[in-house]
Amino acid sequence: MLLNLQLICFEVSNKCNLAEAHKAFCPSCIKGFRKGSKPATNGDFISFLDSCIEAGFKGKVGFHFYNEPTLAIERCIDIGAAANSRGLETVLWSNGTKEISQSWFDEIFVTEYPESIKDNCTKAIPYQPDDRLKIYDAEATDNYKPCCRPSHIEMPIDYFGNIHLCCSDWRGEYEIGSILHCQHDILLNRWKRAIIDADHGCDICRKCQGLCKSPACYDKDYLV
């Protein structure tokens, strides 16, 4: 089921130190941005990762999904060590406001904000503000191209353990469930259903304008 998936990404922080500066376009400063009150622990994330490995996952473990992971760098290091011990590599995306040791992660990507420190990153990513704030007000289109993001690119899990269809559905309107409240095998079956829905174009997918190549990619398969 997860054999072709390249990334499982964990959101380890509920804060971003650039949220105020980016409030014109970033959802992370909106009240009610995330559903949930109890954050997922490192153990919760690692336990779910083990279930994904049992389901065939052989990709990389990432740290990003809106909020800044280096604000909880110890969590990244601990979860990353668990991933490495299971034979998986780790990838960090950061706004580059804190120095990061290259030895902590297999790959590091830093967005080129004015405040960024890029000395230790694998690749600097050009700063490109997006319009994901507006996705829920957009009109659905019939001119839909099937999206391979859920099947091949990324499974994002937010700070409260909610699995998201993708980063464009930041409010989580396509509900899959939380690793805190649902059996993992049920969640993975729902993820399989999400792949089918994305392929055919569910409501949120038909409002998405993000089917383009990402500057954050490190191979030809990564998409926004």
* pLDDT range class, residue 27, cuts 50, 70, 90: confident
Task: Report the pLDDT value the prediction gives residue 220, as an integer from 0 to 100.
Answer: 43
Task: Report the pLDDT value the prediction gives residue 210, as an integer from 0 to 100.
Answer: 65
Each residue of 165-215: pLDDT tens digit?
A: 988 888 899 999 999 999 999 999 999 999 998 888 888 888 886 654 443
Each residue of 137-159: pLDDT tens digit?
A: 888 888 777 777 888 889 999 99
Domain for residue 22, yes or no? yes
3-class state of residue 213 by DSSP:
strand
Higher per-residue confidence, 65 vs 145: 65
In Å, what is the CA distance from 60 to each residue of 39, 57, 85, 149, 163?
22, 9, 12, 15, 17
Higher per-residue confidence, 40 vs 136: 40
CATH code of the domain containing 197: 3.20.20.70
Domain for residue 222, yes or no? no
Domain for residue 217, yes or no? no
Split into its structural domains, the chain has a count of 1
Domain for residue 33, yes or no? yes
Mean pLDDT of 92-100: 93
Q: By C-alpha distance, which of 177, 152, 166 is closest to 58?
A: 152
Query: SS3 letters for 8-20?
Result: EEECCCCCCCCCC
Residue 147 and residue 211 in contact, taking contact as beta carbons nearer than 8 Å: yes
Q: By C-alpha distance, which of 72, 119, 115, 63 is closest to 94?
A: 63
Task: Report the pLDDT value the prediction gives residue 125, as an integer from 0 to 100.
Answer: 83
* pLDDT range class, residue 216, cuts 50, 70, 90: very low
Total-model pTM: 0.90
The residue written with tokens 């089918």 in the block is: 196
Domain for residue 48, yes or no? yes
Domain for residue 172, yes or no? yes
Q: By C-alpha distance, which of 127, 205, 128 is closest to 164?
A: 205
Q: To the nearest whole percent, how much of the chain has pLDDT over 90?
A: 52
Task: Report the pLDDT value the prediction gives residue 211, as an integer from 0 to 100.
Answer: 53
Mean of the per-residue pLDDT values for the chain? 87
Domain for residue 221, yes or no? no
Range of the domain at 119: 7-207
Asked whether the predicted pLDDT for residue 221 surpasses 70, the reply is: no
Asked whether the predicted pLDDT for residue 68 surpasses 50, the reply is: yes
Domain for residue 17, yes or no? yes
* pLDDT range class, residue 57, cuts 50, 70, 90: very high
**Does residue 66 come out as left (phi exceeding 0), alpha (psi in the -120 to 50 range) or beta?**
left
Task: Report the pLDDT value the prediction gives residue 124, as an integer from 0 to 100.
Answer: 85
In Å, what is the CA distance from 122 to each residue of 95, 126, 204, 216?
13, 13, 33, 11
Higher per-residue confidence, 170 vs 74: 74
What are the residues facing 205 on neighbouring strands? none
